Amino acid sequence: MLWTATEAGCRSTLVDSRSRTSSTTGIPTSALPNTFVPGEGIQDSAFYDRVEIVRGATGLLSGAGNPSASINLIRKRPTQDFSASASVSAGSWDNYRGVFDVSTPLTGDGRIRGRIVAVDQDSRSFLDHYKIKRQSLYGIIDTDLTSSTTLSIGYQYSHADPNGMPWGGQPLFYSNGSPAHWPRSTNLAADWSTWDSTVKTAFVDLEQRFDNGWKLRTELSQKRANADSRFLSGLGYPNQVTGQGLIPVTTRGILDTRQDSADVMASGPFQLFGRQHELVVGAMTSKHTSDDRETGFLFPHTPIGNFYNWSGSYPEPDFDSARYALTQTRVKQSGVYSAARFSLADPIKLIVGGRFSNYEVDQETGAKAFHYKKTAKFIPYVGLVYDINDTYSAYASYTEIFNPQTSRDKNGDVLAPTSGKNTEVGIKGEYLNGKLNASIALFEAKLDNVAQIDAGHLLPDGTQAYYAASGTKSKGVDFDLQGELASGWNLYAGVSHFTASNGDGSRMSSQIPRTTARLYGEPRSVMVAFNYKLQ
């Protein structure tokens, strides 16, 4: 089932485990590039009972945040009774997938329960000579230590091995200056181009439930990920007649990361002035380390030849003999937070929250070392919800943004953290007894020190240089309609549009689509999807 809940600007989209839908406001921002976890996107949705997408600024939940979204993946849990399912599917471009999911009590009284999910998938693509193989495994054991205490221990593994992996786009123009038009299937990658990724996660979760409705939850997790990427692309402009003229460029990167996290959170109701309210308090700490080895750009002597006859066949360079530049990054975060949902009156709810965050990053490259530390950074949040009637509610929210970054300018200096504020107002509706939900929202983000590509400038190691744009403004509108339209028919439809400008009023992040339309229909076991993007 698809369901959307709106809470004062934190719009959560819950999606069942068969789907891969997500949506954000589309506000351009700079993430922390070297805390990227390789293969994060390969973790299979079959592991999860639902996906919660909290749109809007994320700093209250994650410490350092930006005006995009926070994604919360809710893992499947063992069931009290035995259950098992197996499914196979086939789709266009030789897309074959099998899923096995079994849950069973491990003791006669059901106090100890286990669940295993296994996935295997092979597929090709509309792109020429591209194919990918995926394997995923998830296991979890729940143990009821008491009637109110549950201990969970789990492990998940995901691996993806693509071949013919594209890197960059196709030439926009011919050498004579006329625009180039390529078939949709055109793929400039070599058949050995890959981004081989593996992600392994182990976790322990302890939940204590109290008679007064409060819950205390503690989770420890460790995630290890690695990726080996090898790419080829072509620079320049081909001759429109002969197809000759592209210059081959290759690169290889080897990335290893580890992230250790600990979270403690308590939540529950409380009474004040004769009304019941809700409170959540928590603390978290995490440490992320990454070692990134890159060759930079390599220019093989073998020509690409006639691009019109390109088949992906190209000799793989001897990457092992190349020189590698090492970038080591260490990021530490910790913080305490609290949020309260006050019932001011039956139709009016006030949400107030804040977080004190500590953030430290160290990065060493072949050029310069970088150290940044910020302690007791406060990030406020406030929201108001008004229930107009049983069908409609209106909301407004405000929060601040703080996001350190490791992007460097053309002189090799690290840009200052991105900072700013995010506001949002909207209306939500529930129809068909809550089975169908709709929302429309207006949002605006004002940011300083947003990393933007500094065209024509590369750092000595071949990576892109950036400049800090200040006084930027992004604003737009987002509409969603989703839920069970009729028995056995799930629907998701949405349209988003935004504008983004620099402080001088010029267009910002022109590579990001300004208008996006989404439509997913799922009658029984058949899914139909449509996406449209306009820049």
Residue 287: the pLDDT is 95
pLDDT at 250 over 80: yes
Residue 16: the pLDDT is 29
d(CA 492, CA 528): 10
Residue 67: the pLDDT is 47
pLDDT tens per residue across span 514-534: 898 988 876 655 555 555 555
Q: To the nearest whole number, what is the mean pLDDT of the chain? A: 84
Q: What is the DSSP string of 415-459?
A: PPPEEEEEEEEEEEEEETTTTEEEEEEEEEEEEESEEEEEEEEE-
Percent of the chain scored above 90 by pLDDT? Answer: 51
CATH fold group of domain 81-345: Maltoporin; Chain A (2.40.170)
Non-local (6+) Cβ contacts of 318 within 8 A are: none
* Whether this model's pTM surpasses 0.85: no
pLDDT at 61 over 90: no
The CA distances from residue 303 to 130, 188, 246, 529, in Å, are: 21, 13, 8, 40
Across the strands, what pairs with 356? 336, 378
pLDDT at 90 over 50: yes
pLDDT tens per residue across span 148-207: 999 999 999 999 999 999 887 788 899 999 999 999 999 999 999 999 999 999 999 999
Confidence category of residue 39, pLDDT binned at 50, 70, 90? low
Q: What is the DSSP string of 22-72?
A: -----------GGG--TTGGGS-GGGEEEEEEEES--HHHHSS--SSEEEE
Amino acid at 512: I
Rg (CA), the chain: 25
Residue 65: the pLDDT is 47
Residue 514: the pLDDT is 87
Mean pLDDT value of segment 331-346: 92
Instruction: Count CB atoms within 10 A of the CB of residue 135.
Output: 17
Residue ranges of domains in the chain? 1-75+388-535, 81-345
Residue 136: the pLDDT is 96
Residue 170: the pLDDT is 85
Q: In what order do the strands lie in the sheet with 69-75?
A: 3-7, 10-15, 48-55, 69-75
**Are 485 and 523 contacting, i.e. CB atoms less than 8 angstroms apart?**
no
d(CA 451, CA 408): 9
Mean pLDDT value of segment 112-130: 95
Mean pLDDT value of segment 244-272: 94
Residue 335: the pLDDT is 92
Higher pLDDT, 138 or 57: 138
Confidence category of residue 297, pLDDT binned at 50, 70, 90? confident
